Amino acid sequence: MDSLVIDLAVLVLAGFVGYTVISKVPNTLHTPLMSGTNAIHGIVVLGGLLLMAESSGVLEKVVLVIAVAFGTINVIGGFLVTDRMLEMFKGKERPKPADPEAGEKPE
Amino acid sequence: MTAMAGTVFLQTTNFTDAAYIVAFALMIYGMTGLTGPRTAVRGNKTAAVGMTIAVIATLLRKGEFHGSSTVWLILLGVAIGTAIGIPAARRVKMTAMPQMVAIFNGVGGGAVALIAWVEFRHQFGGGWPLRVEIFELFGAIVGSISFWGSNIAFGKLQEILPGRPIKLPGRGQSALNLGLFVIAVASAVVLASGTHSQALFILGILVVAALLGNMLVLPIGGADMPVVISLLNAFTGLSAAATGVALSNPAMIVAGMIVGASGTILTNLMAKAMNRSVPAIVAGGFGGAVAAPAGAAGATGGTVRSTSAQDVAIQLAYARLVVIAPGYGMAVAQAQHAVRELQRELEAKGVEVKYAIHPVAGRMPGHMNVLLAEANVPYELLREMDEINPEFPRTDVTLVIGANDVTNPAAKNEPGSPIYGMPILEVDKSAAVVVLKRSMASGFAGIDNPLFYEPKTSLLFGDAKASVAEITAEVKAL
């Protein structure tokens, strides 16, 4: 099969996987979800890495350094912010019914 | 993947592809973790591990780091990104989270656009298949729109730019946007069909798409910003996937497409919560100072009843059921901890306290949940709109903290109102309503709220945090 056909098949299947996995996320987690998926599209940084070796000329290199920096901000910032948001939920979810404070961490 | 020349190269490619499969499997697994609060932290970390594997595998694949400058330039880019990204993510306040997500999304889109540009400069005339070029051009246009659109969204939420819509009169804006879109697509077609002035055309496309990104988001009012960020998030994901197809990189295709799919779902969910369609939001106009309908409804000019912290304390302390309806005002005032204090005091006096969470209260879905979770408010006290609305008729006092549009009865009663049809928290059904507000200024959507003029409503003006603290002190003193 043509590699483009394979790539397109992967693209379509990934769309369905994403749809199925994500439609189960509860409302409460929508903000972290948006932030988490936001970090994942930082995958574009790979494009910057791949092209860097092939690039020539100052302009291309400068543009790619910016692109890699942008992608890195996207990935690192995205995952860190999501982690910070989610830490707040951790341990507090569904504490024992008898004692509503049970699951809380002292902060 | 097509160019499998030597055995060594083949092995390397196979290794990279295997690593990519592991990487995106981890990302998908991580995302499934996000379906529950208990597994979410781990899920996010799992996805981050997947991302790290993808990056390392890519660097190994480029084992041909012959020019030593390549390594240093990559390190430089990563170092700059780390130096900006880590402090930004660490320092940002929970209330400023939506802006942060907007800007992180924007730089992702910017990266796509820049990569497409370089790729194009580099590959044009090199006999790239037309269909691969199409994906690249798609990435360039959509990535650029996402970058500039996100910057405008950031500016609006950070209040650098005014929250009200900025647009040309009449249908001018839609015509302009359509025109820009046509120019971008037409340039892309010209480019793909192989005109000679390629360098100019690709720059032209990026500039037109940049303009389009600005023009698309500027006319959208602040109230719709969460939906817009979500939409732009989906855009960036799709553009990343398109770049992935152009580069035939499975990790980019899968990760980008998952984000595209999730962003689309989320955008629809959010738009639905506001009873609006995504095209209507993009067409702009709503969410800002819509002058005519609110004035025509005759809600303005009524008298409001202002109250004191002491009175509110008495009202609350002698109630059986108090519902707290928080909004963006609670977020800006950082009042969530003070609110939790008040809730504890009231509970100590035997008052039942619940929180009413509107799906789009604040600036993002789940915004209120995050803030209240930060303040250690027990999860089971938070009630979603459909759950709490039937309870308002038996609620003695509803305490509205910095929420406006999501409690506006005009959404139900006034067909002329721009927010007519949006589901709201039916706080006007409770026996009494106390609204904490900074001033009589209208909400982010710029629409007057008839709730404030109802006889059973009283208003306590001032900073939400200070007001709540005062009320708590008064409740303690009772």
Judged by CB atoms closer than 8 Å, whether chains meet at B255 and A41 is answered as yes
Contact B289, A46 (CB under 8 A): no
Question: What is chain B's mean pLDDT, rounded?
Answer: 81
Question: What is chain A's mean pLDDT, rounded?
Answer: 79
- Residue B53 pLDDT greater than 80, yes or no: yes
- Residue B296 pLDDT greater than 70, yes or no: no
Question: Longest Cα pair distance anywhere in chain A, in angstroms?
Answer: 68
Is residue B405 annotated as part of the catalytic site, yes or no?
Answer: yes
Contact residues, chain B, for A68 at CB < 8 Å: 73-74, 77-78, 81, 111
Q: Give pLDDT tens digits for B213-231.
A: 888 888 887 667 878 888 9
Contact residues, chain A, for B64 at CB < 8 Å: 53
Q: Give pLDDT tens digits for B71-127.
A: 888 899 999 999 999 999 988 887 788 888 899 999 999 999 999 888 887 766 566
Q: Give pLDDT tens digits for B119-161.
A: 887 766 566 677 678 888 899 899 999 999 999 989 888 878 7
Q: pLDDT confidence of B196, banded at 50, 70, 90?
A: low
Q: Which residues, in sequence order, are CB contacts of B83 under 8 Å at separation 6+?
A: none
Contact residues, chain A, for B373 at CB < 8 Å: 88-89, 92
Between B412 and A89, the more confident residue is: B412
Judged by CB atoms closer than 8 Å, whether chains meet at A93 and B36 is answered as yes
Residue A93's pLDDT is 43
**Token code pair at residue B150:** 């996100």
Contact residues, chain A, for B240 at CB < 8 Å: 41, 43-44
Q: Which of A65, A70, A90 is the best mutation test for B, with the most CBs of B within 10 A?
A: A70
Q: Give pLDDT tens digits for B342-357.
A: 999 999 988 999 999 8
Of the partner residues A10, A74, A86, the one whose CB lies closest to the CB of residue B40: A86
- Residue B198 pLDDT greater than 70, yes or no: no
Q: pLDDT confidence of A64, banded at 50, 70, 90?
A: very high
**Token code pair at residue B357:** 């969470």
CA distance A30 to B265: 11
Q: Which of B34, B233, B272 is the best mutation test for A, with the most CBs of A within 10 A?
A: B34
CA distance B361 to B326: 7
Average pLDDT of the residues in B196-221: 81
Residue B40's pLDDT is 86
Contact B1, B16 (CB under 8 A): no
CA distance B384 to B376: 18
Contact residues, chain A, for B45 at CB < 8 Å: 83
CA distance B460 to B306: 6
**Token code pair at residue B429:** 């059904």
Measured in residues, chain A has a length of: 107
Give, in degrees to the nearest 5, the angle at Cα A37 between A33 and A43: 165
From edge to edge, which strands make up the β-sheet containing B321-326? B382-384, B352-357, B321-326, B397-401, B432-437, B457-461
**Token code pair at residue B278:** 């995504």
Residue B255's pLDDT is 94
Q: pLDDT confidence of B9, banded at 50, 70, 90?
A: low
Q: Round the CA-based radius of gyration of chain A to a whole number and report it.
A: 20
- Residue A98 pLDDT greater than 70, yes or no: no
Of the partner residues B44, B81, B373, the one whose CB lies closest to the CB of residue A88: B373
Residue B85's pLDDT is 92
Contact residues, chain B, for A5 at CB < 8 Å: none
Contact B46, A33 (CB under 8 A): no
Instruction: Give the phi and the psi of residue B325 in degrees, each rounded to 5.
Output: -110, 100
Between B189 and B376, the more confident residue is: B376
Judged by CB atoms closer than 8 Å, whether chains meet at B269 and A14 is answered as no
Span between the terminal Cα atoms of chain A, in Å: 57
Judged by CB atoms closer than 8 Å, whether chains meet at A29 and B40 is answered as yes
Identify the three-state secondary structure at position B324.
strand
Contact residues, chain A, for B237 at CB < 8 Å: 37, 40-41
Residue A51 DSSP class: H
Cβ-based contacts under 8 A for chains A and B: 375
Which of B405, B428, B448, B463 is flagged as catalytic? B405
Identify the three-state secondary structure at position B37.
helix
Contact B130, B103 (CB under 8 A): no
Judged by CB atoms closer than 8 Å, whether chains meet at A21 and B258 is answered as yes
Of the partner residues B237, B249, B370, the one whose CB lies closest to the CB of residue A41: B237
Residue B291's pLDDT is 35
Please identify among residues 237-256 of chain B the ones whose CB lies closer than 8 Å to any CB of chain A.
Answer: 237, 239-241, 243-245, 247-256
Between B281 and A10, the more confident residue is: A10
Tell me how close the Cα of A1 comes to any Cα of chain B, in angstroms.
Answer: 11
Q: What is the DSSP secondary-structure string of B342-395?
A: HHHHHHHTT-EEEEEE-TTSTTSTTHHHHHHHHTT--GGGEEEHHHHGGGGGG-
Judged by CB atoms closer than 8 Å, whether chains meet at A29 and B236 is answered as no
Judged by CB atoms closer than 8 Å, whether chains meet at B41 and A89 is answered as yes
Residue B223 DSSP class: G
Q: Are strands B457-461 and B352-357 parallel, antiparallel or unpaired?
A: unpaired
Q: Which of B8-12, B240-244, B304-308 has the lowest mean pLDDT?
A: B8-12
Residue B308's pLDDT is 86
Contact B108, B260 (CB under 8 A): no
